[in-house]
Structure 1
Amino acid sequence: MFRQALAGLACATALTAPAIAQTFETETGSVTLVPVVEGLQSPWGMVFLPDESMLVTERPGNLRHVSADGSISDPIAGIPEVVFEGQGGLLDVALDPEFETNRYVYLSYAEPGDEAGTNSTAVARGVLSDDMTQLTDVEVIFSQQPKLPSALHFGSRLTFDNEGYLFITTGERSDAEFRVQAQDLDSHLGKVIRILPDGSVPEDNPFVDTEGALPEIWSYGHRNMQGAAFHPDTGELWVAEHGPRGGDELNRIVEGGNFGWPLLTEGTEYSGDPINPPQELPDDLVEAERTWVPSPAPSGLAFYTGDLFPDWQGDAFMGALAGTDLIRIDLEGEEVLGDEFLFGDDFPHRIRDVTQGPDDALYLITDADPGQILRLSPAQ
């Protein structure tokens, strides 16, 4: 149904202009990119529902239902208060693994603090009504501590593993005064978080028995992870992580691992000044699977498992903001063989998120106001 519906979206009333297809030549053949939804306000995250429609977040604080024909709903009621400032706002969205029976939807967002001007990443869950118009029984299940006066580096990707644990990526809030807390286990800044769907802490988290450590922490030493996905064969979490000026990373997450920020990076300060490592580094730092200099500014991340692009099975796809592109990461199992920037230097759109659709096409969110959802498929 979804494939047939989207094939006719050039005439859908949700579109502000006729959908214009673009064709690109890739290392494995020609592909077609076509807008299937237009008119979104700074969209950030998306997830497909069982009926092949979508939920899409907009940073100003709106959650939208997008039907399979591309129609955009009014804002869904019941969304928590968000701080829409800088990089903050309503960010990612995920479905509970048991969504078809419990209808739980999870949202990450910039949550205001009690002290004026402070905020942090938070995650709330609520029950989506059958008519897709409201969330009820909304509760906050994670609130990053400490809350700080910053409008940057919220992280915020949400993803469930096959055992039903929820993983949350957080940022270290950017400022040199704050970012050192990425190395501190008594702070949620710059961490991968692992919790149960109700917000409780699994007993086997790596720092549960570490004195002074926050038990939700799964890994640390991160800067700003805006892409997260589980490898389809190994079940391991991979993240796309913003470095400073240069030094963006693709990381395979190790339980309890220290990924080095801000002790060590291939990038520099935005001023161009070096980020000098301390004389003594921890001997257990986890190396990145891939780094990029200069920075493409990575965002959403997805592994491809479908049949529509047989040559891409097992590869990862990463959005690029500064690089305005979609990056294919060529994988042989867990080994990174190389990468391909699919659309080239003249592509105008910042890609905020990427996911595989039920029709095995790839769907991309453009980071703009108005923003689009684009469908990538083999050229006919």
Structure 2
Amino acid sequence: MNRIENLAVAAAMLLCSITAVGQDYQIEIAASGLDHPWSIAWLPDGRALVTERPGRLRVISDGELLEAPIQGLPDVFAASQGGLFEALPDDDFATNRLVYISFAHGTPEANATRVISARLEGMRLVDPKILFTATPPKDTPVHYGGRMAFLPDGTLLIGLGDGFDFREQAQRLDNHFGKIVRINTDGSVPEDNPFVDIENALPEIYSYGHRNIQGLLHDAETGMIWQHEHGPRGGDEINLIRAGENYGWPVATHGIDYSGAIVSPYETRPGMVDPLLVWTPSIAPSGMTLYRGGLFPQWTGDLFISALAGRHLRRVELVDGRPKEQEIMLAGRGERLRDVRTGPDGALYVLIDAEDGKVLRISPNQP
């Protein structure tokens, strides 16, 4: 990014105001009794799949959380931040019944993010296939990433973390730490990935220089790929992802280490892409949706980000692909928010990260 672009981004950050406005929506509990829910996604028949981090896949059907979880999940490494992450139905689920599942796999001494596919038959996953396992394995139970998103060509993006102790590896192309990878849904590597012909580079890599990716989506209307990631003490980022780009971590960052030490003296560097929006202090963004539902026309095209440390939902207005004003929502609840998605009914669904976690449904106030 050149100097003029840097100045434009800096100006946008300064102009990006934050408000907490009067509530023009209502909140209801769509489901409760969930153990640290991590993601939610809908099947064509209207049922919702909700992952629980300890390793269960639950179903909400006709407004009720079914007591029995879906069977057939692989063993997950459930420790600290590790566990079951996302369950993402195939775009052609009605025909092939495939679900893609990301999770922490392995042992305390050697664990990594893994993605499988499996067919959902009734309440059981069958015919599981390993599509991707991050390499090399690590001995830390944190910074896995785990979010996934489909692109229009049917390929799958997977966001990964730097394992916390391996941040320098985010700048290298011979490992998966701090990367977004792109694979075909059979686990093979697309021939047009940006590093397929680079010696010693892992061909799955799509972008690099990330810390811990917790939000990832493709907007079909604009073609943009939006991503957010955790900084350390500050420096949380929203980025627009482009193939082959370096997003800076840990060479360029707005955050400092938890010890108070400087991670890097640089907030921007030549050849590295600057974030479009930075949060300092950290809000720990943890999920994201770009709203194109029918219930809130005034929010069309805006990003919604759930926050763990910030304990709120944040609406980020987008104007010409750039963040502008922000609105803080749900702050009064004081709850850690793990994910936010747009439901097929146009409502917003928010996951509460707790041992007695919940799914909240946000819809317009009734007259």
TM (norm. structure 2) is: 0.92
Higher relative contact order (CA 8 A, sep 6+): 2
Which of 104, 119, 138 is the equivalent residue of 2:111? 119
Task: Give the counterpart of 1:79 among 50, 73, 81.
Answer: 73
Preserved CA contact (<8 Å) 2:80 2:141: yes
Are the aligned partners of 2:104 and 2:113 in contact in 1 as well (CA < 8 Å)? yes
User: Could you list the runs of 4 or more consecutive aligned residues of structure 1 that deviate by over 6 angstroms after TM superposition?
Assistant: none
CA contact (8 A) 1:66 1:73 kept: no
Give the AA of the match of 2:116.
A
Q: Percent identity?
A: 45
Q: 1:145 corresponds to which letter in structure 2?
A: T
Partner in structure 2 of residue 291 of structure 1: 278
1:33 aligns with 2:27: yes
2:164 counterpart letter in structure 1: S
Residues 1:198 and 2:190 aligned together: no
Where do 1:332-347 residues align within 5 Å? 332-344=319-331, 346-347=332-333
Contact 1:314/1:333, CA 8 A, preserved across alignment: no
Which of residues 225, 232, 257 is equivalent to 1:244? 232
**Matched residues, number:** 348
Q: Distance in 1 between matches of 2:266 and 2:362?
A: 45
Once the two structures are superposed, the pairs formed by residues 327-366 of structure 1 within 5 Å of their partners are 327-344=314-331, 346-366=332-352
In the superposition, the TM-score normalised over structure 1's length comes to 0.89
Equivalent in the alignment of 2:363: 377
2:95 matched residue in structure 1: 101
Partner deviation per Cα, 1:222-278 (whole Å, 9 max, x = no partner): 000111111242212111110010000001001101000011111111111111347
1:54–1:68 CA contact under 8 A, matched in 2: no
Correspondence for 2:207 among 203, 215, 219: 219
Corresponding residue for residue 62 of structure 1 = 56
When residues 310 and 28 of structure 1 are mapped into structure 2, their CA distance, relative to the original with a 3 A threshold, is: farther
Q: How far apart in 2 are the matches of 1:231 and 1:26? A: 26
Q: Identify unmatched segments of 5+ residues in structure 2.
A: 1-18
Shift in Å at residue 28 of structure 1?
7.8
1:137 is displaced (CA, Å) by 0.5
Q: CA deviation at 1:340?
A: 1.2
Q: Quote how far apart the aligned CAs of 1:335 are.
A: 1.5
Say which of 127, 140, 143 aligns to 1:150. Answer: 140
The yes-or-no answer on 1:110 pairing with 2:104 is yes
Task: Give the Cα separation in 2 of the matches to 1:357 and 1:91.
Answer: 19
Conserved 8 A contact 2:252-2:269: no
- 1:283, distance to aligned residue in structure 2 (A): 2.0
**Over aligned residue pairs, what C-alpha RMSD do you find?**
1.6
Deviation at 1:372, TM superposition (A): 0.3
CA contact (8 A) 1:207 1:214 kept: yes
**Stretch of structure 1 that moved more, 64-73 or 310-319:** 64-73
Gaps of 5+ in 1: 1-24
